[in-house]
Amino acid sequence: MMLIDNINILKSTYPNIWNRLRPLEKTMDNSLVQVEETRRGDKTIWIEKDNKKLYLHSKYNPIREAEAIIEEYEEIEPDTTVIFYGTGLGYHIDLFLKKHPDINYYIYEPIPEMLYTYLSHNSLKRLPSLKLKDIILADNEADIRKFFNQLVDKTNGKFIHIVLNSHRNIFTEEYNRFLELFKETIKDKKTSMGTNLAFQERWILNSMKNFGEVLNTPNILLEKKGAFKNKPAILVAAGPSLNEEIENIRYIKENGLAYIFSVGSAINTLIYNNIYPDAATTYDPGEFNQNVFTKIKEREIKDIPMIFGSSVGYETLINYLGDKYHMITSQDTVSNYYLKNKYGKPIDMVYDAPTIAVVTLQLLHELGFNKIILVGQNLAYKGKKRHSEGIHYSKDITDSEIKKGIYVKDVYGEEILTNAGFDSMRQQMEYYIKSFPDMTVINTTKGGAHIEGTDFIELETVINRYLKEKVVYGNWLEVNKTNYDSGYLESQSKKMDIAYKRALKLTDEYYNILNRIERLIGNRNFKQAEKTYVKLDKILRKIENNDFFKVFILPMNRVQYELLANSIDSLNDERNPVEKGSRIVKSFKVFMDLCKGDMDNIDEAYNEMRFIIEAFLENNISNEG
C-alpha cells in the first residue's frame, strides 16, 4: 500500500497523478511489479516478462549498484535540471540528491505500477521538496509532450536525464518514445523560436503599415465565406513538378473547370507561360517577399487579384495594380484590436504556418471549396531544382543541402530526399487536411513527397474524372470593401492613444525601480531589495495589461519576453543576494531596453496609422451624410 504521507502529498499537490494511481490499490498484489528482499536485507524489484524474472535492482547489493550509476555524474553545474528517468525503488535518486541537494529535478516514470511501488516504499517528505519541480506519470503522449514543452521553456537548455539502466532495458519501447519526443520537442522549439525571432518585429510593423489597405479592401473571409460550396480549386505551388503540368493548367483555365490559386512564387511560373490564375495568395512577412511580384508589377498586369495576409511584407502591396483582398492573420494583433465587423459577425482569421500553401488551404476551406487539387507541391528534392521555371530569383539546391537531407516516402511509396523545412511544411499540411474532414484533397504532384490524407492522382486523370463542367464565370471576386464598425474603430483608437501615453509613464517607472534595486544591492540592503522585487513584479503586470504594450511592443519582443518569464523561477531560486539582484537588474533591463527601442522605432508608423484612421472615419462620415 502507498505510504499515507505520499497519498496526502499527491492529493494536495499532484491530484491528477493520485486519481490515476488510486485504482491500482486493488490490483497491486497481482501487479507486474513485485518486491522482494535481497540477501543483505535491502529490497529489490522484479517483473515477469516473456516467462523470465527480470530484476530492476541487484539481487545482492542494490545500493552499490546505484552508487555506480551516480559516479558518472560527479561534476554537475549548479543551474542544471535533472530528470530521473525510471524510479525503481529510488536508490539512485536518494544517492544523487544527497550529493547535490540544491539541484532542481523531476521524477519521470512511464509505468504506473512502478511509480505506485516507488511511492509505497519511499516518502516524498525525505526528498528536497522545494527542488522537486514535478512528478510525471508518462503513460500517455499528451502528458509527455506537455512536460517536455514546459521543461524546455523553464530550463534554458541545461538539463540531463539520469537513467535507471535496467528500467530502460526492460521497457525499451517507452524509453525510445521518451527520446523521440524529447528530440522532437527540442527541434520544434528551436524552429518556433527561430521563426519568432526572425519575424516578430516584421509581423507588427507590417500589420501597422498595411492597416490602410485592410480598411480599404474587402475581407475575403467575411465577404465570401462559404460562397464556393462544392466547387473545385487548384492550389498551384512552385515545386519543380509544376513544369510538367503547365498545359493541363492552361486547359483548366481556358475552360473554367476549376478556380486556380497560385501560392507564393508559383505566380511567376504561370505568367511566364502566359497563364493568369484566378487569384494569387501571399503572406510572407519578409522584405524579400516583394520580389515574388516584381514581374507582375513590371509588366503592369492588372488582371490577377491578390489575396494578402494582413501581416505580409508591406513592400509587397506597394504599386500592385490588380485588385486586392485581405485576410486577417493570427500574427496581426493590430487588426484584431482595432476592427470589428459592422454587423457583429466575428472576424475570422487564418493561422500562421511555415508555407503559404497551408495558409491558402485554410482560406479555401473557409470559402467553401470541397475538392482541393494540389499541383507542384513537391515538398522534396527533384534533382537539383528548387522551383519551377520562370522564377528569376530561384537558386539550385546545393550539394551541402543534399548531404544534410532526410528521407521520406514519396507519392509512389518509394524513398525521396527532402529537408527539415519541407518536412515541417508537409506535417502542417497533413494537420490541416485531418482537421478538414469535409474537404477532399488530391495530390497530383509527380515525384513529390507523400502527403497523408491525400490521394495521389495524376492531373490529367483528375481532369477527365472530376473536372467536366465550367464553374468559373466573370469577375468571381467582385465585392466592395468590408464595412468594419467605424464607431468601434474610433473608440479603440482613442483607447490606444491613452494607453500609449500610459506606456511611456510605465516605462519610466520600470527603469526607476531597476535603478533603486541596483542602489539597494550596492548598499547591501537586501531586505529592502526583496520588497522592491515585488514592486518590479507589479509594474511588469501593469505593462502586460497595457494595450499599447499588448498590441505592439510585447509581440515585437515575444521571444525575449518568453525568456524573461521563464527565467523568473531561476532568478528567485538564486541564494546569493548580490548575484540575485544583479541578475534581476540585468535580465529586466535588457528586456525593457529592447521594448523602449521598439517604441521609438514604431513611433512614425503609429502616427501614420492614426492619420489613416482619422481619414477613414472622416470619409465614412461624409459618405453617410
pLDDT in tens, 455-477: 999 999 999 999 999 999 888 88
**Residue 190 confidence class, pLDDT cut points 50, 70, 90:** low
Q: Residue 549 gets which letter from DSSP? A: I
Specify the pLDDT at position 156: 60
Which tops the pLDDT comparison, 402 or 269?
269
Residue type, 487: G
**Residue 58 confidence class, pLDDT cut points 50, 70, 90:** confident
Q: Is the pLDDT score of 381 beyond 60?
A: yes
Report phi then psi at 134, rounded to 5.
-175, 155
SS3 283: coil
Residue type, 225: K
Q: Is the pLDDT score of 75 beyond 80?
A: no
Cα 33 to Cα 47: distance, rounded to the nearest angstrom:
5
Q: Is the pLDDT score of 548 beyond 90?
A: yes
Specify the pLDDT at position 387: 87
If one counts every other C-beta atom within 10 angstroms of the C-beta of residue 515, the result is 12
Average pLDDT, the chain: 90
HSE-up (13 A, CA, CB side) for residue 84:
26
Q: What percent of the chain has pLDDT over 90?
A: 60
- Per-residue model confidence as pLDDT tens digits over 81-137: 899 999 999 999 999 998 888 888 999 999 999 999 999 998 888 887 678 889 999
Residue type, 363: L
Cα 102 to Cα 130: distance, rounded to the nearest angstrom:
9
| CA–CA distances in Å: residue 55 to residues 32, 52, 65, 178, 553 | 12, 10, 12, 21, 57
Q: Strands, E, within 224-294: which ranges?
A: 232-236, 259-263, 279-282
Average pLDDT estimate for 588-597? 93
Average pLDDT estimate for 288-309? 94
**Residue 155 confidence class, pLDDT cut points 50, 70, 90:** low
Cα 113 to Cα 119: distance, rounded to the nearest angstrom:
10
Nearest to 89 by CA among 124, 59, 123, 44: 44
> C-alpha cell of 175?
524509453
Specify the pLDDT at position 125: 87
**Residue 575 confidence class, pLDDT cut points 50, 70, 90:** confident
Lookup result for grid cell 466575428: 346
Cα 181 to Cα 300: distance, rounded to the nearest angstrom:
50
Average pLDDT estimate for 315-336? 95
Specify the pLDDT at position 444: 98
Cα 509 to Cα 532: distance, rounded to the nearest angstrom:
12
H helix intervals, 100-218: 112-121, 141-155, 165-170, 172-209, 211-215
**Residue 563 confidence class, pLDDT cut points 50, 70, 90:** confident
To the nearest 10 degrees (0 to 180), the angle between helices 603-624 and 577-601 is 50
**Residue 196 confidence class, pLDDT cut points 50, 70, 90:** low
- H/E run at residue 134: strand 132-137
Cα 309 to Cα 210: distance, rounded to the nearest angstrom:
10
HSE-up (13 A, CA, CB side) for residue 107:
28
To the nearest 10 degrees (0 to 180), the angle between helices 356-367 and 420-435 is 10
> C-alpha cell of 138?
508518462
- H/E run at residue 425: helix 420-435
Q: Which pTM was predicted?
A: 0.76
- Per-residue model confidence as pLDDT tens digits over 398-439: 888 888 889 999 999 999 999 988 998 999 999 999 999 999
Q: Is the pLDDT score of 324 beyond 90?
A: yes
> C-alpha cell of 195?
521563426
Nearest to 189 by CA among 152, 154, 159, 156: 152
Q: Is the pLDDT score of 298 beyond 60?
A: yes
Q: What is the DSSP string of 205-221?
A: HHHHHTHHHHHTS-BHH
> C-alpha cell of 179?
527520446
